[in-house]
Structure 1
C-alpha cells in the first residue's frame, strides 16, 4: 500500500514566534534578503542601513499620521496640476547609492528620472535617490537621529529635504553641500527650484 503524506490542518499549524531584539543587538541582511524580510513582515516599518543593519521603526501615532497625510495630500494636489513627477508616501522604500534603503515620510521624484527606472526595479526598492524628501518628526524620534537621516539624504543626492518638527515648531531645510537652514514657526515652505511653484501651507502639519 503506498505511503500517505498527512498535511497539517490549519488548526494544527503553530503560530509564528515573535523574536524580541534588544536595542544593543544589530541585525544585518543582504539587499535581496531585506526585500524578502519586508515582504514577510508587511505590518512592520523597516529600513536598511548602508552596512546592512536593519532598523525597525515604530508606527506613527495617530496625530502624527494625520499630519503626514495632510503633507502627502498637499504635495499630491500640486503634482496633479503640474504633472512634473511622482509622489510617494511613507510605505515606499528607495535604495540610495550607498546601499541604504530608506522610506521617507514623503518623497517626490522628477518624472523623467523615475521613468528611467526599469519597471522590475520600481516594484522593489527602486535604486534612486528622490529629488525631494520630507520627514515629520514624531515623539518617538530623537532629534539627533532625524538630523542624521536628513544629512544622509543630502549626501546621497536628494536635492531638497525638510525636517518638520511639530514639537519645537521648527523646520530644518537640508540642501547638498550647505549647512541646514532652520526656520522658527514658518507659516509656509517654498519648494524652490526642485518643486517649482509649490508652497506648503503648514497649518495642521507644524501647528494646529
Structure 2
C-alpha cells in the first residue's frame, strides 16, 4: 500500500477520483479523509483464495437471510469523513441500502457499511489496517473484522468497545449485526 499526497496541485474531488479509477481499472485505489490517494497492490494468489472463501461465506449467509446486501473487494464506499474506502468484504442492511439512489449506487455509495472485513496480506502493514478498521467504526460500521492469516489472529471492532484480539478462532459470530452468521475460518488457517 502506497499513499500519494497530491495536494496542493491536484484536488482529489469525488469526480477526479472516479475518473482516476475508471482510467486505471487494473489498480485498486482508495482516498483518505485527508485527500491522499492510496494505491493498493494486488493480492497474492493465496490471499485471493482466502478472501474468496470469506466473501463467499458472507454472500451465502446473506442470500439465505435476505437482510441486506453483500459486497466484494471491488466495491468502494464514500464514508461520512470523505474517505473513499474499499473493504475486502462488506455488508449493508437492506433499508439503509434502499435509501441510496440508483445514481449513487453506480458510484461510490455515500454510506459506511454496517459490517466490514479486511484480510491482511503478507505485504500489508498491520498498523495501517488497524487504523482503517477504526476509521470504519468511527464512521458508522457496527462490526469489523481484521483477519491476519499469518499469525492466525482476528481483531474484532465494535463501536464503544475496546478492540478484541482473538487467537486462532475456528469461527466468528456475526453478533446481532449479522444474525445467525458464523464464519468458518478453518480454510483460512490451512
For normalisation by structure 2, the TM-score amounts to 0.95
1:150 and 2:129 are equivalent in the alignment: no
1:196 and 2:171 are equivalent in the alignment: no
Alignment-derived partner of residue 160 in structure 1:
143
Query: Could you say if the C-alpha distance between residues 54 and 84 of structure 1 is closer, same or farther in structure 2, counting changes exceeding 3 Å?
Result: same
CA contact (8 A) 2:3 2:39 kept: no
Deviation per CA, 1:83-105: give whole Å up to 9, x if none.
Answer: 11111000000000000000000
- Find the residue that maps to 2:187 and give its secondary structure: coil
Pairing 1:52-201 to 2, within 5 Å after superposition: 52-201=35-184
Deviation per CA, 1:93-134: give whole Å up to 9, x if none.
Answer: 000000000000000000111010000000000000000000
- Find the residue that maps to 2:34 and give its secondary structure: coil
Long gaps (5+) in structure 1: 1-22
Using the alignment, how far apart are the partners of 2:41 and 2:82 within structure 1?
Answer: 22
Long gaps (5+) in structure 2: none
Alignment-derived partner of residue 20 in structure 1:
none
Count of residue correspondences: 185
Q: CA RMSD in A?
A: 1.1
Using the alignment, how far apart are the partners of 2:180 and 2:58 within structure 1?
Answer: 11
Q: Compute the displacement of 1:25 (Å).
A: 5.1
CA contact (8 A) 1:31 1:52 kept: no
1:26 and 2:9 are equivalent in the alignment: no
CA contact (8 A) 2:3 2:36 kept: no
For normalisation by structure 1, the TM-score amounts to 0.87
- Find the residue that maps to 1:204 and give its secondary structure: helix
Deviation per CA, 1:62-90: give whole Å up to 9, x if none.
Answer: 00000000011111111111111111000
Alignment-derived partner of residue 30 in structure 2:
47
Q: Compute the displacement of 1:27 (Å).
A: 2.1
